């Protein structure tokens, strides 16, 4: 029962109609008996939304597309890892003072490490936006070699230089000797759900293909990869792991990972 003592959390993004984060977090609150609720906020103006976090005493928020980089300048404090990554996906409200961090990198690494050792592997990452930055950071922290591709070549080149990765153009991506492919772009999510970021026949070189898009669960990229013998990792796995870390930051309680996973699977 929601009351005047219920703590409110949410997700800021646009669009957010598809998000599974409310299902995950609310299931975790119920499981642990925490008087809290998590709701989606479809944001039109980020600066006003951030002021709303303070004014309404929203206790914490997830940040998603397209605001992970833009929000940094609007916060009171951002931790070192998020500053290095250049993107924030988690905000905690400490009595009106907003602190930002990033759990995407932890979620991506945890999802990948459920399937393979990361150290020493060569990974091709598509996308140099907020999620791509977090993933490249995670891979380099774990000791992987990274090749990076983005349609905005200057953005990709800058990120590669920051994190010690190699930047190539999209037409040269298929020449990379990478064994793992990670799609860190929105390509594959509606309205681009029929689109694939690489030609299907180029997928057979990869042992593992990971897609951070989680709606649809089985993107065209993963379908085409499976048809060519690749192991697939869908975006739900990264979402659950990064959400679990967020939950721990929000509440101070260990996250019920399997409860969150099941809530996301069956929402």
Q: What domains can be seen in the chain, in order of their start residue?
A: 7-102+238-266 (3.40.50.10860), 105-233 (3.40.50.720)
Please give the pLDDT value at position 163. 96
| Weakest-pLDDT range from 26-40, 48-62, 126-140, 186-200 | 186-200
8 Å CB contact between 87 and 69: yes
pTM: 0.91
Please give the pLDDT value at position 266. 87
User: Looking at the annotation, which residues are catalytic?
Assistant: 68
SS3 state of residue 88: coil
What would the two tokens of residue 158 be? Answer: 């800058």
- Check pLDDT > 90 for residue 191: no
What average pLDDT does the chain have?
A: 95
pLDDT tens for residues 39-89? Answer: 999 999 999 999 999 999 999 999 998 999 999 999 999 999 999 999 999
The CA distances from residue 170 to 136, 161, 183, 225, in Å, are 17, 17, 13, 18
Q: In the chain, what percentage of residues exceed pLDDT 90?
A: 89
The CA distances from residue 58 to 74, 98, 230, 243, 257, in Å, are 16, 10, 42, 17, 23
Confidence of residue 173 (pLDDT cuts 50, 70, 90): confident
Q: How many residues does the chain have?
A: 267
What would the two tokens of residue 239 be? Answer: 């979402």
């Amino acid at each position: 029962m929601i009351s005047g003592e219920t703590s409110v959390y949410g997700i800021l993004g646009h669009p957010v109609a598809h998000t599974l984060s409310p299902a995950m977090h609310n299931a975790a609150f119920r499981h642990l008996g925490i008087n809290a609720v998590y709701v989606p906020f479809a944001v039109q103006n980020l600066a006003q939304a951030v002021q709303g976090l303070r004014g309404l005493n929203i206790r914490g928020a997830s940040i998603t597309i397209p605001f992970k980089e833009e929000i940094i300048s609007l916060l009171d404090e951002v931790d070192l890892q998020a500053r290095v990554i250049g993107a924030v996906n988690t905000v905690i409200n400490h009595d009106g003072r907003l602190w930002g961090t990033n759990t995407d990198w932890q979620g991506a690494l945890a999802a990948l490490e459920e399937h393979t050792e990361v150290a020493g592997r060569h990974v091709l990452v598509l996308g140099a936006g907020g999620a791509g930055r977090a993933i490249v950071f995670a891979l380099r922290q774990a000791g992987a070699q990274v090749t990076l591709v983005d349609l905005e070549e200057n953005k990709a080149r800058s990120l590669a230089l920051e994190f010690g990765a190699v930047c190539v153009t999209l037409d040269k991506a298929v020449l990379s000797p990478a064994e793992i492919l990670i799609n860190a772009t929105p390509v594959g999510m509606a309205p681009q759900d029929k689109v694939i970021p690489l030609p299907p026949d180029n997928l057979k070189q990869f042992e593992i293909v990971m897609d951070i898009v989680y709606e649809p669960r089985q993107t065209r990229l993963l379908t085409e990869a499976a048809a060519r013998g690749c192991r697939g990792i869908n975006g739900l796995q990264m979402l659950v792991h990064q959400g679990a870390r967020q939950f721990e930051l929000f509440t101070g309680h260990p996250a019920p990972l399997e409860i969150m996973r099941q809530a996301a699977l069956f929402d």
